[in-house]
Amino acid sequence: MILPPAVLGLLGGGQLGRYFTLSARTMGYRVWVLDPDPDSPAGRLADRHLCAAFDDPDALSELAAHADVITCEFENVPAASAEWLAAHAPMRPNPRALAIAQDRIAEKRFLEDAGVAVAPWLVVDSIAAARAAVPDWDFPAILKTARLGYDGKGQLPVSASGGVVRAFRELGEVPCVLEQQVELDREVSVVLARDPDGRCRSFPVAENVHRQGILHLSRIPARIDAATRAQAEAVAQRVAEQLDYCGVLAIEFFVCGSGELLVNEMAPRPHNSGHYTLDATTVSQFEQQVRAICGLALAPADLTAPAAMVNLLGDLWPEDQGLPDLSRLLAQGRARLHLYGKPVARPGRKMGHVNLLGVPGESDASQPARLAESLWAELAEGAAR
């Protein structure tokens, strides 16, 4: 076991890292964050913020020299940096998991090899491939850059055959995947933790609603039957095993109209759809990440009451960069506010979220989601005024 006051190294300094840092420091660990943003949400709370690029050799060697274990909250760390770090300090998750999760082509190949169903897809990495893709393809589809996409960025819908070449050009002629747009019944996600000995614990399955490609709301429990739930958990565990994973892993699923379960993508870190665990489960995904990478016993991860989480994007912030009027929200005891301390709001930027807690044992599990929607709608109305 890696015990406090060991130094935990963290690649990335966003909000996911901020909560990891809080959990680790609460337990007496020290946290060193590597992130190039001087205002990074995690860097501000860390024992040490190495404010440098992810491929800065001096910062990497300083991190490796001091950290007892290194983890990440951001998967797009250059593969060479991750490989170098892993050769000099324990790195959890391992660099192979990171390399797979940061490239949609590698990710889909890995999932198919693991026997996991994904939406029909093709590699489009040249104009010729874009043309060749067209004849036997089932539109509508989505063209996605293989790398560096998040929150729906780097994606274009393609409704007809001529659109593939145009979309490929518009995305900069970088390697892409063409993916069939599937008919979604709903979207769900599994967040799990796996320890160095291969023991796994899953958090309750979340049901996720996106707006313009960005997560808007999660509700827990997800409205899926027991068999689908068990299947999602089993697939997520299989993926973790095949990656020889250690840490927190998130898998996003499409539940199709036919009931079929497809994996959309994975994230080798805690996940936005797991933010409800900060208030509504017996351990948070962030404390569980600390426990997993340090080899402590994983904690039971049970839901204490039905819950919902709604994201607060920069769109809700007034132009003068003050805060939105949060008084109605804060007048609700069941609404738990989380703000990430980002100094600048931009449309689409995740500034915070609210967790809505239901009453334990209550039969109407939709109540927190309804409350989340109505509080969010009030904020959106305020922003429009």
Q: Which of these segments, 44-52, 122-130, 141-149, 344-352, binds ligand ATP (CB under 6 A)? A: 141-149
Residue that has been written with the tokens 């209550």 in this structure: 362
Least separation in angstroms between residue 214's CB and ligand ATP is 6
Binding mask 108-127 for ligand ATP (x = CB under 6 A): -----------x--------
C-beta separation of 267 from 345 below 8 A? no
Least separation in angstroms between residue 372's CB and ligand ATP is 18
The footprint of Mg ion (CB under 5 A) covers: 252
Does 184 participate in binding ligand ATP (rule CB under 6 A)? yes
Q: Which of these segments, 10-18, 148-156, 158-166, 345-353, binds ligand ATP (CB under 6 A)? A: 148-156
Strand partners, 220: 307
Binding mask 149-168 for ligand ATP (x = CB under 6 A): xxxxx---------------
Decide whether 184 or 380 has the Cβ nearer to ligand ATP.
184
Q: Which residue is nearest to ligand ATP (CB)?
A: 210
Give the tokens for residue 149: 């996409």
Residue/partner pairs of 299-303 with CB below 8 Å, 24 or more apart: 299/201, 300/201, 301/193, 301/201, 301/202, 301/203, 301/204, 301/277, 302/204, 303/204, 303/220, 303/221
**Which of the listed partners (Mg ion, ligand ATP, none) does 182 bind, with a CB threshold of 5 to 8 Å by partner kind?**
ligand ATP
Decide whether 45 or 310 has the Cβ nearer to ligand ATP.
310
Decide whether 77 or 250 has the Cβ nearer to Mg ion.
250
Least separation in angstroms between residue 212's CB and ligand ATP is 9
Least separation in angstroms between residue 57's CB and ligand ATP is 29
Q: Which residues in 185-204 contact ligand ATP (CB under 6 A)?
A: 187
- Integer Cα distance of 117 and 95 in angstroms: 24
Q: Which residues in 247-306 contact ligand ATP (CB under 6 A)?
A: 252, 264-265
Does 4 participate in binding ligand ATP (rule CB under 6 A)? no
Least separation in angstroms between residue 216's CB and ligand ATP is 10
Name the 3-class secondary structure at 384.
Answer: helix
**Which of the listed partners (Mg ion, ligand ATP, none) does 2 bind, with a CB threshold of 5 to 8 Å by partner kind?**
none
- Integer Cα distance of 34 and 59 in angstroms: 8
Least separation in angstroms between residue 47's CB and ligand ATP is 29
Decide whether 202 or 264 has the Cβ nearer to Mg ion.
264
Please name the residue ranges forming H helices in the chain: 15-26, 57-66, 79-88, 95-101, 104-113, 127-133, 163-170, 226-242, 277-280, 285-294, 327-330, 367-384
Does 348 participate in binding ligand ATP (rule CB under 6 A)? no
Q: Which of 11, 16, 85, 142 binds ligand ATP (CB under 6 A)?
A: 142
What strands lie across the sheet with 7-11, from one edge to the other?
A: 48-50, 30-34, 7-11, 69-72
Tell me the CB-side half-sphere exposure of residue 16, using CA atoms within 13 A: 24
Decide whether 198 or 259 has the Cβ nearer to ligand ATP.
259
The reply to whether omega before 368 is within 30° of 0 (cis) is no
Cα distances from 342 to residues 13, 23, 41, in angstroms, run: 11, 19, 6
Least separation in angstroms between residue 252's CB and Mg ion is 5
Q: Are strands 48-50 and 30-34 parallel, antiparallel or unpaired?
A: parallel
Q: Which residues bind ligand ATP (CB under 6 A)?
A: 119, 142, 144, 149-153, 179-182, 184, 187, 210, 213, 252, 264-265
